[in-house]
Amino acid sequence: MSELNQQNQISDEELYAMIDEKIMEVGLTGYLPLRDKLRLRDWLFDSFRRLGVLQELVDDKTVTEIMVNGPDHIFIERSGRMEQWDKVFESQEQLEDMIQQIVSRVNRNVNVSRPVADARLSDGSRVHVVLPPISLDGPAVTIRKFPEPITIEKLLRIGSITREAADFLKNIVEAGYNIFISGGTNSGKSTFLNALSAYIPKSERIITIEDSAELQITHIPNLVRLETRCANGEGEGEVSIGDLIKAALRMNPSRIIVGEVRGREALDMISAMNTGHDGSLSTGHGNSPKDMLSRLETMVLMGTDIPLLAVRSQVAAAIDVLIHLGRLRDKSRRVLSIVEVAGYEAGEIRLNPIYRFEENKGAQGKTKEVSGILKKVGNLENTEKLEAAGIKL
């Protein structure tokens, strides 16, 4: 460490050479098996350039979430089930060094005055950090991994959606319906949004807006990816999702994809959907489609002082279809309902259910495994965009 501090920059190859030299010096003082030398070499490199003790978990494709509750407690989620890992950080300082390494790579700051931060790893994994004194038992780090892009075909194989419903979604995405995806925490909203974006025609210009870049859209050549920025130590330079939505409107987008709306930026998103940007997509936290619309109304009211009925009519005009996701008791992620926002009548938003997940009655209460089907319960009422695009349901 002292030698590294004396040098401004050093490449990975030079760092490996320094590590090899130190290991050889230790080997001269006593016998060190080759296996231990190789393990020590990787461990030292990971400590300086990667995530140290967590790197093994990051490289493990079966691990979907890593939760660090202070230096001595590391939990992981594998196949939908949580378990405690048997390894720990050597000290809180080592954990804090790893955190600073992560946030600095994406030009973000986290410290005592700003103890909460979002960041991402080079592979697209999402990182959330909370430092003391907000986190009472030491730094808390949550890493949500996205090992590989999830496609609709894969969702079909694991039973998250039916072929009929997938074909329906393909048609309405191509036709340019505004779609909002709702669900609880860890229900798969970002994953489903990413899968759904594969249906967007290649000829369009897409602008994505996210807190931390997670979407993996590879088939669109005319793609602009925007990411928010936190304020600096003086409280200046912040670029919010709302700012990026306003900027995107001046960039001639065919569609705007907002990773997630959480607050007053919902007003800008609704405005964008109501100003001719058909086919826009976004996600948000909600317990049901109806609850999601209520939350959107609340978020819009946070950003403006207009009557609730006016907000409600704007939300109803902006969103065409709501897709609600959830995790069942067997930890599987499913599409629970697909609902059309069928208009605004008598001061209320009218919802038209199209698909609804129905669990097999005989399986309820007898087993943790869930069997059921996403059943069609209605038809799309607003078919104007489909007809204009020459698409038949």
- pLDDT tens across 150-203, in order? 889 999 998 899 999 999 999 999 999 999 999 998 888 988 999 999 999 999
All CATH 3.30.450.380 domain ranges of the chain, comma separated, are 2-144
Q: What is the mean pLDDT of residues 228-249?
A: 83
Looking at per-residue pLDDT, the higher value among 205 and 277 belongs to: 205
| Pairing mode of beta strands 74-78, 81-84 | antiparallel
Q: What is the pLDDT of residue 365?
A: 54
Q: What is the pLDDT of residue 220?
A: 92
Cα 168 to the chain's mean position, in Å?
24
Question: Is 2-144 a CATH 3.30.70.100 domain?
Answer: no
| CATH superfamily of the 152-388 domain | P-loop containing nucleotide triphosphate hydrolases (3.40.50.300)
For residues 70 and 139, the answer to whether their CB atoms sit within 8 Å is yes
DSSP states along 153-200: HHHHHTTSS-HHHHHHHHHHHHHT--EEEEESTTSSHHHHHHHHGGGS
Q: Indicate the average pLDDT of the chain.
A: 87
- Tell me: pLDDT of 374 over 70: yes
All CATH 3.40.50.300 domain ranges of the chain, comma separated, are 152-388
Rg (CA), the chain: 24
> What is the Cα–Cα distance from 36 to 42, expressed in whole angstroms?
10
262-275 pLDDT, tens digit per residue, is 888 899 899 889 88
> What is the Cα–Cα distance from 169 to 391, expressed in whole angstroms?
12
Instruction: Count the Cβ atoms, other than its own, within 10 Å of residue 314.
Output: 20
The dihedral of CA 242, 243, 248, 249: what is its sign? positive
Looking at per-residue pLDDT, the higher value among 280 and 329 belongs to: 280
Prediction pTM value: 0.79
Instruction: Count the Cβ atoms, other than its own, within 10 Å of residue 231.
Output: 13
292-305: string of b/e by CB count within 10 Å (b at 16+)?
bbbbbbebbbebee
